[in-house]
Structure 1
Amino acid sequence: MLCISFDNVISLWLFEIDSLLLSLLVAAAVLSAFLSRFISLILRMNEQGLAYSMSQLLPKLLLILIIGGYVVFSVSKNITNLVLANVSATLFVCVIYAWNTRSEWLLGLKESIDYSYLKSLVSFGLPLIFGGLAFWGLTATDKILLKELSDFEQLGLYSVAVSFAAAATIFQSVFSTIWAPMVYKWAAAGENFDKIYKVNRYVLLAVIVLFCLAGLFSWVVTLILPSNYNDVQWILIPCLGFPLLYTLSETTVVGIGVTRRSGFAMLAAALAFIINLFGNWWLIPKWGAAGVAVSTCVSFWFFFLLRTEFAIYLWRPIPRFMLYAYTSLLVIGAVINSIYGEVYAIELKVFWLIMLCSIFVFLKDEILEIKNRFFSHNFKI
């Protein structure tokens, strides 16, 4: 309500259109998405896996259906209808899941508040609020600054590259959903530290393979995009930095959660945000979409580094030479690919091929174990 009252600042900032309707629609979308987030956590904590998965999938399916309806019925193609489609999808899902979980949250409304317990929750959660804001800045300011410091053509290139790289967020989302409850259960029992390290090695292997495959086959996107989007093939690879390096950091950041020192999580996000802010300011005027992709990728490498080092400081050490060596090479390769990909296309293909082949030397034990588990149909860690 505060944002809406400031002369449609939401619609002006996001769309450069002075519209009360657009501001109200965006506010409704944010509010319904916020409520849906907590409703979906009820499903997750109740171990209703299918319902939780649907809570993540349904908004996307509804959005596709609504936009498909626009096409079929020749609805006017404008920003208002596009925003309306997003709002309709999020509101509909929010209402459905609020109804399905009504027994839990209605009971919650009737409970008395334990203020001493609430105080401990606030002391733990308050730094996470600011850390969440910093993380939002880390993931959102790229598009905002690209729009302000460059033009909509570069914003379009970057958005398309991010959309292709979003395929890796499937890996991130599935892993994070399964990993968080499992690892803290292990930590609470004071056992299975060797399994945490083993999972870390598996995820590192997956990150290397996905980066290398993207480096070798990013040219495929040119077959399905118009010719004026050919540059997407070069900036696609650093765009993988966010989902893949974030996923890897989830395996090394356990110590911060176990020790409940959430201030360090906030600090890691804040420092990475500052790095990204400076990188965008420096690189966007010169390199446009390539510059913002490089800045985001490098920032997430620092985010991964800071989370890892803070967790080690607070909890216990982990072997990390291989982690830092491989991720550094992957980020350097992604940066060169983004800025000089067209000039050194052949050399970069050789680089990604060498990186891919190197895992059979340095991570051969993990590869052999995955192979043995695959053929024995035993996928338990």
Structure 2
Amino acid sequence: MPKGKFFRYAIGGVVTPILGLITIPLLSWVFSPSQLGEMNLFLVIVTGITLVFSFGLDQGLIREYERSKALPLVMEILFYISLVFIITYFILFSIENETLLKNKIFTENILFEVFLTAFLLLLIRFNMVVMRMEEYALAFSLTQIVRKLSILITLSVSFYLYKNNLFESLINVINLQLYSALITTIFSFFVLFPFFKSFKYSRSKKFKKCFSFGWPLTFSGLLFWGLTSLDRFYISYFTSMSDLGVYSLAVSFAAIIIIVQTIFSTIWIPIIYKWYEQKSASFLYSYTEKLVVLILIFIYFLILLFSPLIKFFIPESYYDSIVMLSFVSLYPLFYTITEVSGIGINLSKKTKLMIPIMISTTIINLSSLAWFVPVYGALGAAASLAVTFYFYFLIKSILSNRFTPENIKTGLKTYVLCTLILIISFFNVFISYYFSLLLMFLLLIYVLYDFFTMPNLKEFYYEWTKEI
């Protein structure tokens, strides 16, 4: 990748969290906790549909991507996905079931909203894969920014047009997400016009390979969706929609780390495949893992340090979300570390292992939810999320180590550090905020020392800057 591309990718990584920090408090002032909870359930369902209908083809596209032959493959993928979406929608819509027809979901046409939003988000996902593989770095960043910015614009315009009537109907609330997805989709196709304009129909020989590589990831992806969604259904069923809204706000703040994870994964996956094929220096893998751990520990320390200040930006009805932030932030943290520590499964093409990994993690998730939620409510769901993704990291990393060369295996230090982070999060919630902050600071100092005293740092820096 030409030098300087990283900084174009970084624009999205910097601007998007800033827009998120503006949007999240704004939503808390506009929506009541119960309304925010309803919107969150809508997004959870949309995300699940998007995962199912992707058939893992986005991952297969990354794996089989060749610039000179990519366009027919991309168009074939988009055609089949569009066809399946349309057929499925009309099948569901044509089902004559008196119970369903009397349901509020059908009377307000939310089925259409759900399917259309999911379809648009899936188009955005594949377009962003193309941007990454074609190295449209600036377009990639701007698409992320437009997604966040369009929510702010849509919210402002809707509030001006509807004023006090905006939130009387659930469908008006949901339309905010639909309009945002539509704006982002149009923008993504606009910036990819140079890529699509040369299309001439031809069958791609790689579609079957893409499907074969990606379909196991559909099941694992759906199970992963369950890991991040069962807590929402648990809260809405065992507590209240208001508690779900408070919990959703905490998860939204933690989503800032998810953006960092998305940017890193977008850059990391193509690079690791390249290093693996070229048999690059062995230390590059372990150094990258240590760098990721260092960055994430630093971010988590900042979250703990500044979390008390959040109460100045949100209504009092959402104050409980601040306590939950210590737990829910660990989901993207552990997941990002696993992107490095579990990469051996992808490199060895053992993607079918993701199914037992996700099944075992889902069992842990259900058990921890049953244990924590009845006692601690939404806070218990947050603790369950942290514990679940800690075990996800453990299981995937250990299995990955069995199928990868010695130089790519996850070191013992990473396991120990992740365990300590989980323990500190429980200290923060149940024992002492200041004591946990001190422990986190000491851990950060150790990781900084461990990283910057390693040999070959200059070569590591050169290899990464060469790629980005």
User: 2:135 matched to 1:47?
Assistant: yes
Deviation, 1:359, is: 3.0
Which one of 17, 21, 24 corresponds to residue 109 of structure 2? 21
Letter in 1 for 2:179: S
Q: Which residue of 2 aligns with 1:91?
A: 182
User: 2:403 matched to 1:314?
Assistant: yes
Letter in 2 for 1:329: L
User: 2:342 matched to 1:270?
Assistant: no
Which one of 325, 336, 344 corresponds to residue 432 of structure 2? 344
Q: SS at the partner of 1:110?
A: coil
- Mean CA deviation greater in 209-218 or 150-159: 209-218
User: Is the contact made by 2:343 and 2:400 (CA closer than 8 Å) also made in structure 1?
Assistant: yes
Which one of 247, 253, 259 corresponds to residue 164 of structure 1? 253
Q: Which residue of 1 aligns with 2:33?
A: none
Deviation, 1:33, is: 1.2
User: Is the contact made by 1:66 and 1:85 (CA closer than 8 Å) also made in structure 2?
Assistant: yes
Which one of 115, 132, 148 corresponds to residue 237 of structure 2? 148
Change in CA separation of 1:73 and 1:282 when aligned onto 2, cut-off 3 Å: same
Q: Which residue of 1 aligns with 2:124?
A: 36
Q: How far apart, CA to CA, are the structure 1 residues paired with 2:357 and 2:166?
A: 41
User: 2:393 matched to 1:304?
Assistant: yes
Which one of 297, 301, 315 corresponds to residue 226 of structure 1? 315
Change in CA separation of 1:11 and 1:240 when aligned onto 2, cut-off 3 Å: farther
User: Is the contact made by 1:360 and 1:367 (CA closer than 8 Å) also made in structure 2?
Assistant: no
Q: What TM-score do the two structures reach when normalised by structure 1?
A: 0.86
Q: What TM-score do the two structures reach when normalised by structure 2?
A: 0.71
Change in CA separation of 1:217 and 1:59 when aligned onto 2, cut-off 3 Å: closer
Q: How far apart, CA to CA, are the structure 2 residues paired with 1:345 and 1:368?
A: 38
Q: Which residue of 1 aligns with 2:342?
A: 253
> Which residues of 2 match residues 68-79 of structure 1 at below 5 A?
68-75=156-163, 76-78=165-167, 79=170
How many residues of Structure 1 are paired with residues of Structure 2 in the alignment? 369
Q: Which residue of 1 aligns with 2:421?
A: 330
Change in CA separation of 1:225 and 1:99 when aligned onto 2, cut-off 3 Å: closer
- Mean CA deviation greater in 349-358 or 1-10: 1-10
Gaps of 5+ in 2: 1-88
- Mean CA deviation greater in 172-181 or 33-42: 33-42
Q: How far apart, CA to CA, are the structure 2 residues paired with 1:316 and 1:347?
A: 40
Q: How far apart, CA to CA, are the structure 2 residues paired with 1:337 and 1:131?
A: 32
Change in CA separation of 1:264 and 1:34 when aligned onto 2, cut-off 3 Å: same
Q: Which residue of 2 aligns with 1:184?
A: 273
Deviation track 1:165-199 (CA, whole Å, cap 9, x = no partner) reads: 11212321221111111111111112233111101
Q: SS at the partner of 2:113?
A: helix
Q: How far apart, CA to CA, are the structure 2 residues paired with 1:263 and 1:153?
A: 39
Deviation, 1:18, is: 5.1
Q: Which residue of 2 aligns with 1:293?
A: 382
> Which residues of 2 match residues 49-64 of structure 1 at below 5 A?
49-64=137-152
Q: SS at the partner of 2:331?
A: helix
Change in CA separation of 1:11 and 1:31 when aligned onto 2, cut-off 3 Å: farther
User: Is the contact made by 1:165 and 1:239 (CA closer than 8 Å) also made in structure 2?
Assistant: yes
Q: How far apart, CA to CA, are the structure 1 residues paired with 2:432 and 2:188?
A: 51
Q: How far apart, CA to CA, are the structure 2 residues paired with 1:10 and 1:368?
A: 66
Q: SS at the partner of 2:314?
A: coil
Q: How far apart, CA to CA, are the structure 2 residues paired with 1:336 and 1:18?
A: 46
Q: Which residue of 2 aligns with 1:65?
A: 153
Q: Which has the higher contact order (CA 8 A, sep 6+)?
A: 2
Deviation, 1:132, is: 0.9
Change in CA separation of 1:243 and 1:127 when aligned onto 2, cut-off 3 Å: same
Q: Which residue of 1 aligns with 2:171?
A: 80
User: Is the contact made by 1:161 and 1:235 (CA closer than 8 Å) also made in structure 2?
Assistant: yes
- Mean CA deviation greater in 46-55 or 99-108: 99-108
Q: How far apart, CA to CA, are the structure 1 residues paired with 2:101 and 2:255?
A: 26
Change in CA separation of 1:80 and 1:168 when aligned onto 2, cut-off 3 Å: same
Q: Which residue of 1 aligns with 2:32?
A: none
User: Is the contact made by 2:223 and 2:359 (CA closer than 8 Å) also made in structure 1?
Assistant: yes
Change in CA separation of 1:96 and 1:225 when aligned onto 2, cut-off 3 Å: closer
Deviation, 1:350, is: 3.2
User: Is the contact made by 1:3 and 1:10 (CA closer than 8 Å) also made in structure 2?
Assistant: no
Deviation track 1:209-238 (CA, whole Å, cap 9, x = no partner) reads: 222232233212122223333322221011
User: Is the contact made by 1:221 and 1:232 (CA closer than 8 Å) also made in structure 2?
Assistant: no
User: Is the contact made by 2:139 and 2:191 (CA closer than 8 Å) also made in structure 1?
Assistant: no
Which one of 312, 326, 330 corresponds to residue 237 of structure 1? 326
User: Is the contact made by 1:238 and 1:297 (CA closer than 8 Å) also made in structure 2?
Assistant: yes
Q: SS at the partner of 2:280?
A: coil
Q: How far apart, CA to CA, are the structure 2 residues paired with 1:10 and 1:308?
A: 47
Deviation, 1:101, is: 3.9
Counting aligned pairs with the same residue, the percent is 25
Q: How far apart, CA to CA, are the structure 2 residues paired with 1:332 and 1:249?
A: 18
User: Is the contact made by 2:143 and 2:187 (CA closer than 8 Å) also made in structure 1?
Assistant: no
User: Is the contact made by 1:11 and 1:23 (CA closer than 8 Å) also made in structure 2?
Assistant: no
Q: How far apart, CA to CA, are the structure 2 residues paired with 1:281 and 1:364?
A: 43
Q: Which residue of 1 aligns with 2:445?
A: 357
Change in CA separation of 1:24 and 1:326 when aligned onto 2, cut-off 3 Å: same
Q: How far apart, CA to CA, are the structure 1 residues paired with 2:297 and 2:199?
A: 45
Q: SS at the partner of 2:453?
A: helix
Deviation, 1:265, is: 2.5
